[in-house]
Structures are given as structure tokens and as C-alpha cells.
Amino acid sequence: MTSFILASGNAHKAEEFKELFRGVLTVQAAPKTIEVDETGKTYTENAYLKARTYYETFKTPALADDSGLNIEALPEILGVQSARFAPEAKDYADKCKKVIELLSTKENRQAYFVCVLCFYISPEEVYFFEGRVHGTIGFDLRGSKGFGYDPIFIPERKEQDGKSLAELPEWKNEFSHRAKASQAALNFFKESMDKSSKKL
């Protein structure tokens, strides 16, 4: 079973991945956080930069994720810069309000979250998995169960109740962009393990 360190100092996120990949891969928090200059123009490039840096530093396979919110009517903001948007804002609640303000004159409120996972096993063996969830940007902040831009993102669901991701923790665990990318990775590594065991 391959063991990965998470290219992040977020112990909570490491626990989430550890639980998700239990029995297939082991994931643990890195011994220390490394500041990685995310100069990539895409989620894939940034995830790769983070995973490679942690691999080279700790000499062990690394897992990194890069994610963000993309808004059709405002393509010049957020995206790979989602975390760095509106640096003057003191927290994500203020960032969310800023997004709503910028959309006030726009009719198109379509948006989607993207997550790219990079599994860096060695320089010759690197895997990427992507997940997306589509939806719209709401007119106010709703819910307290999410983080980041979750309170203003209303995902596409069969229940058209206008609930944000921050009001849907159980749905998010199964259908979010990160959940979809993780499920794709899980399926791939399970299949690889099954093929390896059949060869023995």
C-alpha cells in the first residue's frame, strides 16, 4: 500500500483524505508546512508544483490538491487565484460579499468549483484526477457548515431548494468537486491494486 504525505499543513484535510482512502492508500500530514510559490496558470500546474516540492523535500510520495471557484461572468477573478482574491478582505465572508457585489450587474450567475489532485509517487510516476461541481452564485451568504465560497455557491441538484454548499455537508461529502476527484483516484488505485494482486 503506497503511503503519501499531504502537501499541506492542514491536519484536518489530511484526516479527511486518510479516511477517504482507508484500505487503499495511506495519507498523513507533512512534518512541516512548506510555502510553495503557486505560479501555475492552471489547477493541474499548481497541484503538481505543490506535490513535487513536498516529494523533493521529504523524499516520499506526496499528494497535493488545488481547487477554486470559476464564475462565467467574471472570468478574470477567482479561478486559480480564488484563495488570493480580494487580499484586503479580512475573511472569506468578506470575499463572498465582494463576489456578490461584483455580480450585482450581471445576469449570468453560472459558476463551477474545480478540484485537481496530484499523486506524485516519483518523477516518472505522477497521476492527476479532476472533479467539478456546477451551480450558480446566490444573492446572499447561507449556511455555516462549509468554508471558503461554500455559503454563496448553490450546486445543481434535483432538489431545487436554493440551498448552498454550506447548508449541505452530507451532499458535499459525496458530490463535491473534491469528492468526485477523490472517487476517481480511489477507483484508479483500487483497480491498480486488483491487477497487481492477480499477477501474484
Q: Are strands 26-29 and 62-71 parallel, antiparallel or unpaired?
A: unpaired
Helical H segments across the chain, by residue range:
11-20, 43-58, 92-102, 169-175, 177-199
The answer to whether 66 is a known catalytic residue is yes
Cell reading at 78 = 477567482
In whole angstroms, what separates CA 116 from the centre of its chain? Answer: 6
Q: Are 150 and 93 in contact (CB under 8 A)?
A: no
Query: Among residues 37, 65, 66, 194, which one is catalytic?
Result: 66
Residues serving a catalytic function are 66
